[in-house]
């Protein structure tokens, strides 16, 4: 049942994401052809589209995170093809993307910090619970992500060295943390705390390990 639910949520998210992305791309092109100057409207559509896609996916019962990711991939491909048609809008969109990405990336660590303080205070100071299984779980998941990313890097012909760099590079676990928050209502408090601590371990390892390896390793 868990496998079937996963396939329904993930596969449905891919299908819905692609469908909504095509619909939004067609709408933006039609708006551009209908009116000559739609710069402000295009920027507003660019900002609210991920939220629209997220809530539509929630209503349809598919994975909202996967839906937004695939819709973003489709729209990025479309925008890169039309960057020479509207260079000013394309450049401003890149600046806006960088600003929003920096804000959201920093927000992840703020959320993690607040959650860790609350969990540690509740477990250690109130319940006196010192179960550290989440450390082993986070380390195991990190090893699995390294193996999967390395295999993908080799599969797309990056080579062994490129596969290692791809496996180690970047902060891992941010999207997984978002997925955990999206199913928080279906988890008990203890289960949710375990997931958050495990994801924290994954994020911290993905920051510390590359810093050491890239600094002292010969890559």
Show the low-confidence residues of the chain (pLDDT under 70).
Answer: 32-39, 77-90, 119-120, 122-131, 171-174, 217-219
Assess if residue 206 is contained within a domain: yes
Assess if residue 67 is contained within a domain: yes
pLDDT per residue as tens digits for the range 114-136 = 777 776 676 555 555 556 788 88
- Sequence-ordered strand ranges (E) for the chain: none
Among candidate residues 82, 98, 115, the one where a domain is terminated = 82
Assess if residue 26 is contained within a domain: yes
**49: containing domain:** 2-82
CA atoms 46, 51, 54, 56: torsion sign: negative
Together in a domain, 78 and 134: no
Q: Give the residue among 76, 75, 55, 70 at the shortest CA–CA distance from 12.
A: 70
Contacts of 82 (CB under 8 A, 6+ apart): 90
Together in a domain, 212 and 134: yes
What are 155's two structure tokens? 């599969």
Together in a domain, 77 and 151: no
Assess if residue 116 is contained within a domain: no
Total domains in the fold of the chain: 2
Assess if residue 101 is contained within a domain: no
Together in a domain, 60 and 135: no
Assess if residue 202 is contained within a domain: yes
Residue 36, class by beta-carbon neighbours within 10 Å (0-12 exposed, 13-18 middle, 19+ buried)? Answer: exposed
- Contact predicate 84/44, CB 8 Å: no
Together in a domain, 134 and 73: no
Together in a domain, 144 and 71: no
Assess if residue 113 is contained within a domain: no
Assess if residue 152 is contained within a domain: yes
Q: Which pTM does this prediction carry?
A: 0.60
Q: How far apart are the first and last CA of the chain?
A: 43
Please state, rounded to an integer, the average pLDDT across all residues of the chain.
Answer: 78
pLDDT per residue as tens digits for the range 68-99 = 888 888 777 666 666 555 666 667 777 877 88
């Amino acid at each position: 049942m868990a496998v079937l639910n996963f396939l329904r949520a993930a596969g449905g998210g891919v299908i819905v994401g692609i469908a909504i992305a095509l619909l939004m791309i067609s709408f933006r092109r039609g708006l551009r052809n209908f009116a000559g100057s739609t710069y402000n409207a295009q920027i507003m559509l660019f900002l609210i589209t991920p939220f629209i896609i997220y809530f539509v996916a929630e209503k349809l019962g598919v994975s909202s995170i996967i839906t937004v990711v695939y819709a973003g991939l489709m729209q990025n491909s479309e925008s890169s093809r039309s960057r020479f048609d509207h260079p000013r809008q394309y450049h401003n969109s890149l600046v806006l993307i960088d600003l929003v990405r920096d804000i959201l990336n920093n927000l992840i660590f703020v959320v993690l910090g607040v959650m860790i303080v609350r969990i540690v205070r509740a477990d250690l100071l109130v319940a006196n619970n010192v179960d550290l299984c989440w450390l082993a779980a986070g380390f195991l998941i990190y090893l699995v992500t390294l193996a999967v990313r390395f295999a993908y890097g080799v599969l797309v012909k990056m080579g062994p060295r490129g596969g290692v760099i791809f496996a180690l590079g970047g902060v891992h676990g941010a999207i997984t943390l978002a997925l955990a928050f999206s199913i928080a209502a279906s988890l008990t408090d203890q289960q949710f705390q375990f997931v958050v601590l495990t994801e924290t371990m994954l994020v911290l390892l993905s920051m510390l390990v590359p810093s050491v390896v890239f600094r002292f390793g010969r890559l």
